[in-house]
Structure 1
Amino acid sequence: MATGFQILISAFVFLFFSLSTIKAQSDRPYTLSIITPKILSITITSPELNYGRLTRHLVKPNDKTEIDKQGNTWLLRNGNKVGTLVGNERKFLYHFGHSTGGHSALSKGYDTNDFALTSANDPNYQIHVPPEQIGRKSRPVDSVWSAEGLAVAVEHTFYLFFEEPLTEDEHYILEVPSFIHQELISFTYAPQDYPSSAIHLSQLGFAPDSQAKSAYLSLWAGDAGSHSFPRNLRFHIFDQSSNTEVFSGTSQLKKPALAIDEDAYGINYTGADVHSVTFNSVTTPGTYYLVIEGVGRSHSFTIADTIWEEPLYHGLRIFYHQRNGIALAPPYTDFIRPDSTEPDAPILQSGARLMDTGNGFIEGLDNFSTLLAEKTDKPFPITPGGYFDA
């Protein structure tokens, strides 16, 4: 039972940090998500990556070059490799990318006592309450080539499971380890502002006559495993412009976590129960959102007759720009590319077999040096058509 003094101190801490830490979610180095009234998640990405850039090579004293067996021309400046020289005359320098930051504490371990939730008005959280369980899911999300090799950014999501549900419209303070954020995190539990990441639906939207208007409910919480949602949860579809309910129904278990019939290898790639909700009878064009009772709301989605126009446009542009045997030029594109089947010099055949290269069965062989070693004077017949795959 909390004493009056403890409640007073808790309220003071809450008010102080509410004023000092609230800022736009997009400006924060983390993303807070309220998955259900009892489950929070906080996501960080580490390290921060800085992409390489292309500039004209301005020669400096002590610049040296080094050509590797793949034909790459590396620039060494004061003994340090800083990038690669590119272009027909090697007049341009592609600088290495690099990474900054990084949280070594992520590998040192943490426990439930490193996190705590406090509220001035919610009686369940007036004293620092740690989560009952923590799950962590990590996945690579980006990479750059640096002077030291490949630098990879990893997205880490921490799932915090609490015993008692949060109260809607109440304010909370979340304490987290310093490697996530140096300050306390203040937020108001407003489900409409925090779409649940356990609800998955099409980012594109749906056509009015589509008979595949479905969303899915599932959560795999990393090393905490699969979270089991109750079956037959009630769900509601709301028109976003008026917040009027237009449809309701009951979720159905689509695939249990232990199912192994997803492919021929007997692998369940989701690793969690998957529940589906279907709303095919919602056909009026507009913007909507889904609410699942006991979970939360989804991101907004669109129903429109024109929903496929943009992906069709971009899909056709991909086929045009990746086509081999044609020149790219206005008015169809701003990119200029000559016909690749009309090279400036003849392309000669090589007598090397695929299995004799590094792409075959012999490890350590360089593809290009093997092709050059077996080159012939016989021109390679140019056949227009097909598509570039990289």
Structure 2
Amino acid sequence: MSTEKIEFLGHSGHMLAARLDRPRPTDGFSSDQALGCVLFAHCFTCSKDIPAARRIAQRLSALGFAVLRFDFTGLGHSDGEFANTHFTSNVQDLVLASEHLTRMGLAPDVLVGHSLGGAAVLNGAKHIASVKAVVTIGAPCDPENVTHNFAQHVDDININGSAEVQLGGRPFTIKRAFLEDIRGVQLIEDIAALKKALLILHSPVDSTVNISNAAHIFQSAKHPKSFVTLDRADHLLTRAEDAEYAAQVIAAWASHYVNEPHALAAPEPASDTSIKPPPEGITRVVEIDPTGFKQDVFAGPKHHMLADEPLSVGGTDTGLTPYQFLAAGLGACTSMTIRMHANRQAWPLTHVEVDVSHDKVHAHDCEGCADIGTTTTIDRLTRLIRLDGELSAEQHASLIAIADKCPVHRTLEASMQIVTHSIQ
């Protein structure tokens, strides 16, 4: 599997960020084919990179499907203001994503929507002629269901025109136009007139969107339609095995409705197309463009990334720089260490965000670096850590302190040896 960053214009003219997960070769398919193309719509105030979206997309890709997931306007890495969006604008973004895929030669065969994204694909499917099948995951039968997440603010929004609400531990501005828009959506009518195969995935213990919504969707839809329970899964499919199971079911079901494989135009393959991913525990870097800096980065047999340099220094800016990989390693390790400690202590930490920056400073400007010498320049990594949740001052301080104990932090501050050998 490889992942390609993509951008396209959304409904308001803002640039939307997307990822296209391309399948790796599977039995019966060459490296330039895909079983079909899936367009994935994420949940309300989520992003394309939440664990459920990422795991489902990557698993579908491993099973032979090309998958595009994108951030709606004002969310994730997409431009624009979330406060100026509503359900109808999300559907417009979905349709524009399908048009972008079509221009790439990957007209979507299957729409997959999670939560409110499920309502969006049910509403938007009629505008995408290439779609043969629709999948919902924990979707409401009425988009107005989403208002229960901020029910105590609905009156304020209607009276004052807008209100700031907390969703998932983060602040969002909801406007009256959003409420008016979802009240006007007749989703049950869209479901009855769908004229496409429908698969409904829902958990009986979903505490965010009750499973009765799945029953209403199923009863309103015409055949072919299917329902599969997600058993003990929560609404966000936070357990990896739940997302994996959902992807397996989607792939098996959708393959029945996809007629012809898609030809894939690979995004600038590595210069040596015989390169195989390395075994577990090995990171392999392969030069793509000998005239520039672009590199394929394989981390074991499952993960692929791109490394590059900015345009300003002769690169093509298609991937992380080496120092950004370094910063990402420290940031990811920091966030994971904080999360493990909070979970172990059963503390109410709802969200972790770590910003890491890199610069070079003189030792005399560095706290704790006096023994290095005043004329020496050193590398400095600066972390800004944001913790959300109802944490006490002591809990917050403890989590910030534990950041210094993350394994990557310790490796970077310890003595290190780099051994180099030449191989044939």
Q: Normalized per residue, which structure has more strand?
A: 1
TM-score greater than 0.5 by the shorter chain: no
Q: Give the TM-score, by structure 1 length.
A: 0.20
Structure 1 or 2, whichever has the larger Rg, is 1
